[in-house]
Structure 1
Amino acid sequence: MTSPARRIAGLLAAGAAPIAVAVAVQAAGNLVFHAVVGRLMDPEEYGALGAVLAAMLMLGVPLGALQTAASALVAEHGPGWGPARRTLRSVGLVALVPALVLLACAPLVRDYFHLASLADSAQLAPYLVVAAVTATARGLLLGDKQVGAVALTYFVSTVVRLGLGLALVLPFGVKGALAATVLSELAALLVAVRPLRRPTGPGGGSTLRLKSVAHAGLAVTGLFLFSTVDLLLARHHLRDGSSGAYVAAATVAKTVLALPAGIMSAVFPRLLAGWPTRKRGRVLTSGAVAVAGPALLGGLVIVALPALVLRVLYGDGYADATGLVRTLAGVAALTSLVTVLTNAALARRSWTIAIPWAGAVLEVALIELWHGGATQIAVCSAAALTVTLLAMVLLEARAWFRSPTPAPEPALAA
């Protein structure tokens, strides 16, 4: 028998480690992209670019649901190029509808973000289509446990974005930087399609269903709101430098969730496969350690050295935010456990995926009542996390450690 430590090490080595490394490289590449482009552009241009990139980030929330649903599809029904091709085609066609809406609204987006030209805002439309199909392709690969192939898509995307972004930003400005972002997603898609091309397996008739995407979307969106709503409310309620301090502290704290999010995408298919078995409690435990372990370790580092982390990233302007960083780092680290349990609920199609939504509502209510300062808002966020995590442990973790109901014995012939 293998020890728990060996099982977790095997999961990290064979499943989570490539994704973790790829996500870390992508995050570092994103920082480099922003740092270099920010220096090449004047502040007004960079502000416009940041606004559109933020809109692209928001579009990524529903795309996460597509990736999760596609991963579940293959994990349950098996891989095959036939169903994969039909799924990718269907997602591309469906994504055309909101893309055309975005294209029609391009003048409004241009005016709202004060962009220089219509071409800047119009690039949101092709990005949505390409990114939707790419997210689905990554999900199909993850469901087939082709984690290395998914990691390669992130590496290629990062390299293309950096190379083209830096080459195009000087002659074309915002348009060039945005075009590089769209083309980087297209390059990732081309890399993902190749390992998907294989003879159709046993699940040849299975394609992505709207119900599955909606179910995954409910879970992904609930987690997104639960982990970010405090940031939005802090910006609304706080004045002077307090909102900036909260944003800086929250940005530092939430970096501990970057790697766990990537690892979770590799762990989710294992939760799907483990739920019907008698070892499902062990599967959940090893997955929770693989996902939450890096988050808790990162959180401890930030809690131990908040002043140093703030100084390295932001200079001496936020030296008084160390207490805030400690609180929010602890909240972010423990939120990774809510992420694991929500994905566990999604794996068994349980109503408990709605608990993070209730946690977000509770968080909003608490902050609306007590928002006298940044520390007060952080405490409200911690209180909502405590209630949400306790509910998830009592309802979801308990279900995974309960013994499966034995199958009924066949009736004996008379």
Structure 2
Amino acid sequence: MRLDPGRLPGLLTRGALPIAVAVAVQSAGNLVFHAAVGRRLDADAYGALGTVLAAMLMLGVPLGAVQTAASALVAEHGLSRASARRTLRLVACWSVGPALAVLACAPLLRDYFHLAGLAEAVQLAPYLIIAAVVAAARGLLLGARRIGTVAVTYFVATAVRLVLGLALTVPFGVAGALAATVAAELAALLVAARPLRHPDGTGTPGALRLGAVAHAGIAVTGLFLFSTVDLLMARHHLRDGSSGAYIAAATVAKTVLAIPAGIMAAVFPRLLAGWRRPGRARVLAAGGLAVAGPALLGAAVIVALPALVLRVLYGDGYADAGALVRTLVSVAALTSLVTVLTYAALARRARTLLVPWLGAGLEVALIETWHASALQIALCSAAALVPTLLLMLLLEGRVWARTSTQLGADSVEESPSAATAA
């Protein structure tokens, strides 16, 4: 399928809008969940909960590559009941090994993150399996253009998480809140699996390739590590209420990235199609505006009223974390530009997609050196962002700004099938 780079607004309206709305609802639900649970737990317990939830997201991030590869599979071969069953079964089998490894490491996770018991760490294992299959199911539906159904999976998961989270946190504390998160993913799977049992169309048999998943996983995982490793390290280095304040501020900041991440799913095919064609610089610029624009706008609002946002969400418990919120929200907004540039590197299968990994390494080194306070850790995160973003702008911006005649043999044009596999 050939995409005209000049039709980006129409593509966003038809393709990204339902997902963007669903992700916006999910993000709002996530804030409500954190606010409600944060009011029921003391600061240290809430810090533990936020850290494990971040670990859940980190385990699930490579699954974004599974979703991308499953979507590409359907786009190339069509959707059939046999290919859907084969894909879901294969992904479930792939996830069993990592889940068992997480289960074996549960005691280490409990001690490193200062958790109250094994029940809080053990739940990472079933979450990983369920989230993997959910990602594959959503990818199959996206490839078949069942955008509405995918959006419904987000709505249902958000509702289940809120209801069960409020019901289970009081009697079971952190473990109850985590159980609600696992149950939400299971509910999303049930919604996604139903239309896959009897697909509308027919397709030729196709197999999900581990190589295609791995290539996309490098980019996705590097981005998530770059944007989240500070949260995990803050829990390790900070004590008592400080870790809770960091989790609260980081939760507000990470929400800024949620909707742009959904829009990125619609922009990435444009980058694939626009690379090696005239006007690719405009494609990258339009993609950057579509993805980073909402992030920068949301960040501007929060930076202007951090105390009000914290008070509305968490009450007066974290009223003094205004400077922390401003720093982390600003970092999150600018990180959306790193996201666009990383996907631009993925579109042309370039080594530049490794830059976020280097940025995450720099962030770890800085935080290991300076971690006396929550604000100091946030400033380390900002210090790692600056060279990472500048390097991405230099490497990717320079290449995408070239004319077609300036591209050398090191930038061989990909075939449509290769672009689909990416």
**TM-score, normalization by structure 2:** 0.78
Q: Which moved more, 1:315-324 or 1:354-363?
A: 315-324
Deviation at 1:138, TM superposition (A): 1.3
Aligned equivalents of 1:113 and 1:319: distance in 2?
Answer: 25
Counterpart in the other structure of 2:229: 229
Distance 1:80 1:125, change over 3 A: same
Go from structure 1 to structure 2 and tell me whether the alpha carbon gap of 1:243 and 1:85 turns closer, same or farther (over 3 Å shift).
Answer: closer
Count how many residue pairs are aligned between Structure 1 and Structure 2: 400
Q: Which residue of 2 aligns with 1:308?
A: 308
Match of 2:292 in 1: 292
Quote the residue 1:86 is aligned against: 86
Shift of 1:291: 1.2
Aligned to 2:336: 336
- CA–CA distance in structure 2, aligned partners of residues 311 and 170 of structure 1: 22
1:166-199: CA deviation from partner (whole Å, max 9, x where unpaired): 6677898877765554443233223324555244
The answer (yes or no) to whether the contact 2:61–2:224 under 8 Å persists in 1 is yes
- 1:255 match: 255
CA offsets per residue over residues 72-100 of structure 1, 9 Å max, x none?
Answer: 4445x253224343222211122223334
Taking every aligned residue pair, what percent have the same amino acid on both sides? 71
Alignment of 1:380-395 (within 5 A): 380-395=380-395
The structure-2 alpha-carbon separation of the partners of 1:181 and 1:395, relative to structure 1 and needing over 3 Å to count, comes to same
| Corresponding position of 2:350 | 350
1:133 to 1:276, Cα distance in 2 relative to 1, 3 A: farther
Tell me, yes or no, if the aligned pair for 1:61 and 1:221 is still in contact at 8 Å.
yes
- Give 2:278's aligned residue: 278
Residue type at the aligned position of 2:78: P
Tell me, yes or no, if the aligned pair for 1:223 and 1:339 is still in contact at 8 Å: yes
Q: 1:278 to 1:150 in 2, by over 3 A?
A: farther
Q: 1:123 and 1:240 mapped to 2: Cα distance?
A: 24
1:16 aligns with 2:13: no
Task: Show the counterpart of 1:214.
Answer: 214
- CA shift, 1:343, in A, is 1.5
**Aligned twin of 2:130:** 130
- Assess if the C-alpha contact under 8 Å between 2:43 and 2:245 holds in 1: no
The Cα of 1:32 is off from its aligned counterpart by 4.0
Shift of 1:316: 4.3
Q: 1:37-48 to 2 correspondence within 5 Å?
A: none
Moved more, 317-326 or 355-364: 317-326
1:402 alignment partner in structure 2: 402
Compared with structure 1, are the counterparts of its residues 52 and 305 closer, same or farther at alpha carbon in structure 2 (3 Å cutoff)? closer
Match of 1:30 in 2: 30
Q: Which amino acid aligns with 1:353?
A: L
TM superposition shift of 1:71:
3.5
Q: Equivalent residue for 2:419? A: none
Q: What is aligned with 2:326?
A: 326
Residue identity in the other structure for 2:285: T
Do the aligned partners of residues 304 and 114 (structure 1) sit closer, same or farther apart at CA in structure 2, a change above 3 Å counting? closer
Structure 1 residues 20 and 107: CA distance shift in structure 2, 3 A? same
Amino acid at match of 1:270: R
Post-superposition offset of 1:298: 0.8
Counterpart CA distance in 2 for 1:272 and 1:188 is 29
Whether the 8 Å CA contact 1:143–1:269 is kept in 2: the answer is no
Aligned to 2:268: 268
Q: Shift of the alpha carbon at 1:126?
A: 3.5
AA partner of residue 79 (structure 1):
G
Q: CA deviation at 1:334?
A: 0.8
Residues 137 and 192 of structure 1 are in contact (CA less than 8 Å); yes or no, is this contact kept in structure 2? yes
Give runs of aligned pairs for residues 187-206 of structure 1, distance below 5 A: 187-196=187-196, 197-201=199-203, 204-206=204-206
Describe the superposition over 1:226-271 as per-residue Cα deviations: whole angstroms up to 9, x where unpaired: 1123334445556786655544433333321122122223332333
Partner SS for 1:344: helix
Q: Which letter does structure 2 place at the counterpart of 1:148? A: G
Stretch moving more, 272-281 or 255-264: 272-281
**Counterpart secondary structure, 2:349:** coil
CA–CA distance in structure 2, aligned partners of residues 250 and 50 of structure 1: 9
The Cα shift of 1:17 comes to 1.9
Kept after mapping to 1: 8 A contact 2:65/2:216: yes
Amino acid at match of 2:398: R
Deviates more, 1:22-31 or 1:156-165: 156-165
Question: Residue 412 of structure 1 corresponds to which residue in structure 2?
Answer: none
Specify the alignment match of 2:417 in structure 1: none
Structure 2 unmatched ranges of 5 or more: 414-422
Q: List per-residue Cα deviations over 1:94-150 (Å, max 9, x = no partner).
A: 22233344556678878984448x6x7665444322211111121233344443221
Q: Given that residues 92 and 129 in structure 1 are in contact (C-alpha distance below 8 angstroms), is that contact kept between their aligned partners in structure 2?
A: yes
Measure the CA separation in 1 of the matches of 2:317 and 2:39: 20
Equivalent residue letter for 1:127: Y
Higher relative contact order (CA 8 A, sep 6+): 2
> What's the CA shift for 1:223?
1.0
Taking the aligned partners of 1:371 and 1:46, their CA distance within structure 2 comes to 20
Q: Which has the larger radius of gyration?
A: 1
